[in-house]
Amino acid sequence: MLQKQAGVAAWLFSAIVMILGAVNAEDPYRFFNWNVTYGNIYPLGVRQQGILINGQFPGPEIYSVTNDNLIINVHNSLPEPFLLSWNGLQQRRNSYQDGVYGTTCPIPPGKNFTYTLQVKDQIGSFFYFPSLAFHKAAGGFGAIKILSRPRIPVPFPEPAGDYSLLIGDWYKTNHTKLKTILDRGHRLPFPDAILINGRGANATSFTFEQGKTYRLRISNVGLQNSLNFRIQGHKMQLVEVEGTHTMQTTFSELDIHVGQSYSVLVTANQPAQDYFVAVSTRFTRRVLTTTATLHYSNSKRPVSGEIPGGPTTQIAWSLNQARAIRTNLTASGPRPNPQGSYHYGLINISRTIKLESSAAQVDGKQRYAVNSVSFVPADTPLKIADYFKIGGVFRVGSISDNPTGKKMYLDTSVMGADYRAFVEIVFQNHENIVQSWHIDGYSFWVVGMDGGVWTPSSRNQYNLRDAVSRCTTQVYPKSWTAIYMALDNVGMWNVRSEFWARQYLGQQFYLRVYTPVESIRDEFPIPKNALLCGRAAGKQTRPL
């Protein structure tokens, strides 16, 4: 017992040292101590091996406030390396904490690593997930909630309650078998079901009091399917998307693509009974549907009637809804100034990057690529190699700014970019599926999307006033999506498909946002506790 107490005391001391050395002491901090294990879970009524955090599936919710420092000590009790990534947290000046293999060495079995994160100038709804070895298919994910500071006004009355909903497609098959399918060069089968907060149909409920309004934070943490969310007999008022307060548009149903997060307000203004919460797949021949229960505290009748139907394959419907989601320019963001004070539409574009996805066989195995390059991990995390100036790990410029038309090939693709550039990125989709793209370290403005092939004249239809700012965007079949992004965050940042089999099989690359000025003003130094592996093994970080 004394040994255990001494260990906890030592961890607290080291964590406090890191805080004092790495973050602003004026900002509050929150400690988390997590143990990652395998355990039995039964989301679909059959026993599966799941990834638990402190015995929980899904993992614990991270509750925080703008500018909080999050000190998360992760003990890896799995028999293989492990990493957690933080979908939507911008890791300002600190890509070492991003938790993907391109920036961070994995936590070895039986070891621990303490993430030092600051939710700098952020609000909103996000999630974390395991980024290695197809672990995401086994769990290990959880919600992240960043509230506004008390003195910053929020553009709606404080809700009576605040629920996080993690929705996603799910397989009964063990994640190691799914990984083997991919490693052998095959595609994954269709998922078995959809989960809501780690549970199957009719297994989750949310209690509302009649007449009160509640906030639901909904994140699609699944592997590949866009999902439609709706509540029987109730409307939803959209108020926030991945850290941006939106115009408060009312929807009966909402499409949420893989990796995306939305906040809606729902008022318990119907007769006192229970109602279906329904989630179903979009753009699939076979439609999977699951339900939870919205329970009125004074309910006089259990849930009844038909499960509310939603859209299925209608692309135009979804496209029109996406275009209707806009930034609330009169609302404060994480700071006490209106979100619209940054006039992105008046800034000159310094560079246009066009990214084209593709699927093909390479050496007889299924692979996916961006601009013909299918990413393969290096033997050393790219950011670590960059810091120690280890040559031969990667080459800046190993992926082109534009589609090349070349046959797909394998490489450790890294695109160089200048700090403080203002870029236009076009995602071009020639395939018959809806895609979902995420960029770590940033929020970007989704200025346009439409069918067909993007051309410079497509800029005529851009929204240059109140486009929504977010970190994950969809691209519809045979369509394009254009974004604007201010490269104001130095580091090595993962650009990836959120379709996890595609990401695993190469549909990703790293954007190296670089400045030659080695200043803490632009980028934090390597963490003192950074794990070192590959060709960086045996090297020294900064002295403790």
3-class SS of residue 527: coil
Taking phi first (over 0 means left), then psi (-120 to 50 degrees means alpha), and beta for anything else, what does residue 10 get? alpha
Q: What is the pLDDT along the chain (544 residues), one digit of tens a residue?
A: 434 444 444 454 444 444 444 444 478 999 999 999 999 999 999 999 999 999 999 999 999 999 999 999 999 999 999 999 999 999 999 999 999 999 999 999 999 999 999 999 999 999 999 999 999 999 999 999 999 999 899 999 999 999 999 999 999 999 999 999 999 999 999 999 999 999 999 999 999 999 999 999 999 999 999 999 999 999 999 999 999 999 999 999 999 999 999 999 999 999 999 999 999 999 999 999 999 999 999 999 999 999 999 999 999 999 999 999 999 999 988 987 776 567 899 999 999 999 999 999 999 999 999 999 999 999 999 999 999 999 999 999 999 999 999 999 999 999 999 999 999 999 999 999 999 999 999 999 999 999 999 999 999 999 999 999 999 999 999 999 999 999 999 999 999 999 999 999 999 999 999 999 989 999 999 999 999 999 999 999 976 5
Is the C-alpha dihedral spanning 480, 483, 487, 493 positive or negative? negative
The CA-atom distances, in angstroms, between 211 and each of 45, 110, 156, 249, 252 are 35, 50, 16, 20, 19
- Do residues 308 and 291 lie in contact, with contact meaning Cβ atoms separated by under 8 Å? no
Tokens of 276: 């279906």
Residue in this structure with the two tokens 């498909």, named with its chain if needed = 497
Q: How far apart are CA 525 and CA 516, in angstroms?
A: 14
Token reading at 83: 């990493």
In degrees, rounded to 5, the angle at the alpha carbon of residue 58 between the alpha carbons of residues 12 and 498 is 105
Q: In order of start, what are the domains of the chain with their CATH numbers?
A: 29-147 (2.60.40.420), 161-324 (2.60.40.420), 344-536 (2.60.40.420)
pLDDT at 5: 43
CA dihedral of 482, 487, 491, 494, whole degrees rounded to 10: -10
What pLDDT is recorded for position 542? 72
Looking at residue 342, its pLDDT comes to: 72
C-alpha separations of 159 from 210, 211, 336, 470, 527 in Å: 13, 11, 21, 23, 39
C-beta separation of 517 from 532 below 8 A: no
Decide if 230 contacts 176 (C-beta within 8 A): no
* Residue 77: Cβ-neighbour burial (10 angstroms; 0-12, 13-18, 19+): middle
Predicted pLDDT at 543? 64
d(CA 405, CA 2): 64
Q: Which two tokens stand for residue 11?
A: 């961890």
The phi-psi region of residue 211 (left if phi > 0; otherwise alpha if psi is between -120 and 50; otherwise beta) is left
Q: What is the 3-state secondary structure (H, E, C) of 445-494?
A: EEEEEEECCCCHHHHHHCCCCCECEECEEEECCCEEEEEEEECCCCEEEE
pLDDT score recorded for residue 518: 85
Q: 435-439 and 472-475: which strand pairing?
A: antiparallel
Residue 83 to residue 466: CA distance in whole angstroms: 36
- Dihedral of the CA atoms 145, 146, 149, 153 (nearest 10)? -80
pTM for the model stands at: 0.94
Burial class of residue 233 (count of CB atoms within 10 Å of its CB; 0-12, 13-18, 19+): middle
CA–CA separation, 32 and 115 (whole Å):
10
